[in-house]
Each structure stands twice: as structure tokens, then as C-alpha cells.
Chain A
């Protein structure tokens, strides 16, 4: 039986950095530890280096004994909004259809990818995300090796949306930005209408200008607001872009959820 108030460690897994926060739970949860560890990855797609750092940190007393909640960088995730199809009510049928839909965007997806679906009404489009099966298995191994439960694994875009949803309107764009990757979800009353993930290079200015064009992606070209969740140093790198109609999402106050606190910490450290 798990302890009623077991601490939680929120983790942001990305190719270049590992962000960790430790939340002491209870009636008033509070962040008791936060850190950002650099990762020397051989390639952006290589998640094993980050996983090794995580395993090493979880072996330290500071991070031991807490349940894990993990936000996986959008670099390693595949996401799409799957249109509603009449009659697709069972989860199994929706998974098969979502896999087929993702394959149209990302190419054939076999057992190497594991899917998760956003819950919703059968008559509504739903969000589908995919993560490498090996990455998820490795996470399970790391957690088991540290003797802690793996409580949650979500893509960063989903985590950021959950964190900022109360500040967002039901139209516009939510963008998450990290070194080498940009993801954007078009907001709608039922959740998301569209989602895009693009690799970005070292030319941050060019990529940030591309980011600004997300505001004009919508039909009718009405000026939709663009909300950006990004590390602080990216804003400092190109302040003119962020001053040109983009709305910066940041919160320095510690959060009462480990994953929400990871979003805050990622913004400060990553």
C-alpha cells in the first residue's frame, strides 16, 4: 500500500536538459527541491542519454522515494487532432483509427509507438499522441529500479495546456517552444482544433518569426492571440519577436501540482 502523502517528483525529459522538481504533498503541497541537469545527447532523437541522467538522479537521496510524473519533450512525441467519425465509440476502434490518422502525417507507425487518446465525446474530434514504446518501457524500468511508482507520462504540449488552460481563451494558439522543437495547438471550445510540431534549427530568429506566423494560420486571418510557453532564455534571445503580439506565459510562483511546477521550472531553467 502506498503512503497517503507520498512526495512527487515532476520531471521534464528533453534531449538537452532534465528538469526535476520535488513536491512535498499534503494539505498544502510545496516545492522543496528543483534542479536542471544538462544532458549530453548524441542526437536530438536520442532519449537514452536523458534517461540515464534521470536514473542516476533518482538514485540520490534528494530525489528518492517519490512518485514520478513525467512530461516528455515534444521532440519525441507525435501528436494530431483526429476528426470525429460516426460509430467510433470503443476505445480500441478509436486507437486503430488514430494510429491510421497519425500514419498519414508521420508515416507508418507500428508497435514502436504507443498511443494515448484524449478523452471526449464520440461526436467530437479528439487528440491523439504517440511516444516511442521503448522510451515508455525505459521509464518504467528506471522507476522500478528506483523503487518508485510511475504515476503519469504526458507530452509537454498536453502538460503546458493543462497548466495554462485557465488563462487561455477558446480560440487562438498555444505554443510550446524548446531548443530544436516548436509545437502549437489551435484552441477551440472543445479543446484543440489542430496541432503542429516542427523541428527548428539553430537560427532562433528565423524560427521565432515562423512562430509568429502561427497567428495568421487561421481561416479569416483575424488576429488570433498566440500564447507562448518557452524557456526564459529564448525570450531574451529575441525580445523583438515576443514584443510583437505574442503573449508570454510565465509564472514564478510554485504550483501545487508536480507537473505544473515542472512547467514553471522548465520556463526558468531549460
Chain B
């Protein structure tokens, strides 16, 4: 076993740091500063990325919500379209018009899908012919409650035809 070390010196250890100590201190402080700066940069970067992520997620949510609304609207539209008994209605209109033997001409057909109404514009040789046409419509299975909304007699034409606006409801035939 070795005898213990004896530390003795007539020159007291200098309290003043040596060059190497100062150099190490400077390097240490620089390293600590760089580490702090790098850490702050990383924190800022993470915060920025989080913010961007949140924004992207929110935009996507908002966008998807609007798109969903659009899709729903389109789906509803399609559903309504699909629920509209066009074939039956057109078949009824064709039969009703044909039954007038030329006294009534159907000019326009405007569907109101939301209210399930059908607005018709027709021109008849006379008002009684128009009324008979309406009565005929009222008997059709697809259309019901056909009503004369308005009528207008054209005086600028020699035959004095009557233009009528007819509104009818339709029903879904299962």
C-alpha cells in the first residue's frame, strides 16, 4: 500500500483562473449558449409546426364540413330528383294533352321539387277547353289538386287563345 499524498506548497494556489481555465469557461459558456439557442429554436419550430398543423386540421375540418354540406345538398337534390315521378307525370301530361285533341298545347313544365308542385303553362283555344284540361289532369294518378292559378286571353291573335298557369301537386307512386 502506498503512503498518502502530501500536498504542501509555499506558493498558495492562484485564485486567478489560468488561461486554460478561462478558455474552457469560454468554450463551456459558448456551448451552453448554443445549446440554449438550439433548444429555443427547436421549441419555436415545434410551436410553429403545431400551429400549422392546427391550421391545416381546422381548414380541412372546415373544408370537409362545407363539402359535406354540398354533398348532402347534392344528395338531397338527387334524392328529390329520384323521388320525382317524372315518368308517371309525363305520361299523365301526355295523355291529358292528347285527350284535348289539339285544343290545348302544353308550353312549359316547371317542377318545384321542394314543395312537390308542378307549374304548367299551356295555351288553349278557349277557356272552357282549358278547364276541361284541368279536370282531366285532376283525374291522373300522379298529379292531383290541379288548379288554375291564372289565365290570360290573347287579344292580339284572331283566334283569341287563352294562356293558363296551372299548379298541380304530385305524389309518389310506390
Of the candidates A136, A153, A158, A169, the one whose C-beta lies within 8 Å of that of B6 is A158
Q: Cβ of A114 and Cβ of B5 under 8 Å apart?
A: no
Of the candidates B4, B9, B18, B23, the one whose C-beta lies within 8 Å of that of A190 is B4
Q: Cβ of A116 and Cβ of B9 under 8 Å apart?
A: yes
User: Which B1-46 residues have a C-beta within 8 angstroms of A?
Assistant: 1-11, 18-20, 22-23
Within 8 Å of chain B (Cβ to Cβ): is A28?
no
Within 8 Å of chain B (Cβ to Cβ): is A119?
yes
Within 8 Å of chain B (Cβ to Cβ): is A61?
no
Q: Cβ of A191 and Cβ of B3 under 8 Å apart?
A: yes
Q: Cβ of A192 and Cβ of B1 under 8 Å apart?
A: no
Interface of chain A: mostly helix, strand, loop or mixed: mixed
From A15-23, A160-168, A213-221, the one touching the partner chain is A160-168
Mask: chain A, 146-178; 1 = CB below 8 Å from B; 0 = not: 000011111000100110011011100000000
Within 8 Å of chain B (Cβ to Cβ): is A85?
no
A13–chain B nearest beta-carbon distance, Å: 12
Q: Cβ of A131 and Cβ of B2 under 8 Å apart?
A: no
Known: A166-B2, A168-B3, A188-B3. A4 touches B23 (CB 8 A): yes
Chain B: CB-nearest residue to A1: B19
A47–chain B nearest beta-carbon distance, Å: 14
Chain A residue numbers with a CB within 8 Å of B2 are 165-166, 168-170
Q: Give A134 to B40 CA distance when docked, in angstroms.
A: 59
Chain A: CB-nearest residue to B22: A1
Q: Cβ of A119 and Cβ of B8 under 8 Å apart?
A: yes
Chain B residue numbers with a CB within 8 Å of A92 are none
Chain B residue numbers with a CB within 8 Å of A6 are 19
Question: Which of B4, B5, B8: most chain A CB closer than 10 A?
Answer: B8
Known: A170-B1, A187-B3. A4 touches B9 (CB 8 A): no
Those 6 A-B pairs whose CB atoms lie nearest each other, nearest first: A4-B20, A153-B10, A4-B19, A118-B6, A118-B8, A119-B7
Interface residues of B (CB under 8 A from A): 1-11, 18-20, 22-23
18 contacts between A and B (CB under 8 A): A5-B20, A6-B19, A116-B9, A119-B8, A127-B8, A151-B11, A152-B10, A152-B11, A153-B10, A153-B11, A154-B10, A165-B3, A168-B2, A170-B1, A190-B4, A191-B3, A191-B4, A191-B6
